Chain A
């Protein structure tokens, strides 16, 4: 009997803890840069992310090599010259929803949020603050955001010859479809 009660308590704990966490392994992040010379665009459909709705904690992880370009040469340069993905295979973001109280996770709807956190690309970490939205739907949570980053903030060396071809600011688009963990 004691054992049964104990297992019920444990089970309850597990489920209540689980209901607070949402996860995806197929998140989408793309970036886009425009200059008169050239547009740069890459997509990544293999973003792993966890959202904890009790604390507002958000974690994203991507493999640099999972960014896919339309041009093979651009992808090669991105990996070998700029991001050095053999040396720095992952990029991560760890942050928090700063206005968690304005999201009602119990009620379907779209809520505006601000996320503050640290973005690590290569061996450089910078503070990022991004506006976005959280959409509560039945059985899941969608999250969307767009923000800008600058390659120079992440020690990405771009030689003078091609400097004009690569935008000073890249627009990052984040689209996540979370399911309960």
Chain B
């Protein structure tokens, strides 16, 4: 009787400790480093914008919350207030582009207008541009 009681207590404590550890692990989890995540879609910035322009709802259902890898040439590079860079990619459209906000801090001098670049990011949708977040530079 006593023995099984002890055993139950031991099992319970192990589960409790594991639960707390798992909780702490989940709680402290950083945003995913997309460098290590396989993209759901690989396409050009022009094609991504076209998809949203021709059918915004359909494209949103397809791309939003997915990891999208886009390639194109750099239109502009803007440093944000918190040190995160936002790179916009040419799409052949004067008004809309693909805006990619990089994860972490990066030096703006490393990116030049007109340069070819491939960026992977989480698609958050379409405002005036297609917006990608938590981005990693894959190739320059």
| A-B interface pairs (CB < 8 A), number | 79
Determine whether the beta carbon of B131 is less than 8 Å from that of A70. Answer: no
Interface residue SS majority, chain A: strand
Chain A residue at minimal CB-CB distance from B100:
A46
| Shortest distance between the CB of A66 and any CB in chain B (Å) | 5
Q: Which residues of A contact B124 (CB under 8 A)?
A: 46, 63, 65-66
Contact, CB under 8 Å: A46 / B84: no
B101 contacts which chain A residues (CB < 8 A)?
45-46, 66, 68
Q: Do A73 and B64 touch (CB < 8 A)?
A: no
**Contacts A25-B99, A65-B125, A68-B101 known; A46 to B131 CB distance under 8 Å?**
yes
- Whether B32 pairs with A48 at a CB distance below 8 angstroms is no
Q: Are B81 and A28 in contact (CB under 8 A)?
A: yes
Chain A's nearest CB lies how many Å from the CB of B135? 11
Contact between B86 and A45, CB atoms less than 8 A apart? yes
Chain A residues whose CB sits within 8 angstroms of the CB of B82 once the complex forms: 28, 30, 43, 45
Are the CB atoms of A46 and B29 closer together than 8 Å? no
Are B65 and A72 within 8 A (Cβ)?
A: no
Are B84 and A43 neighbours in the complex by a CB distance under 8 Å?
yes
**In contact, B65 and A65 (Cβ under 8 angstroms):** yes
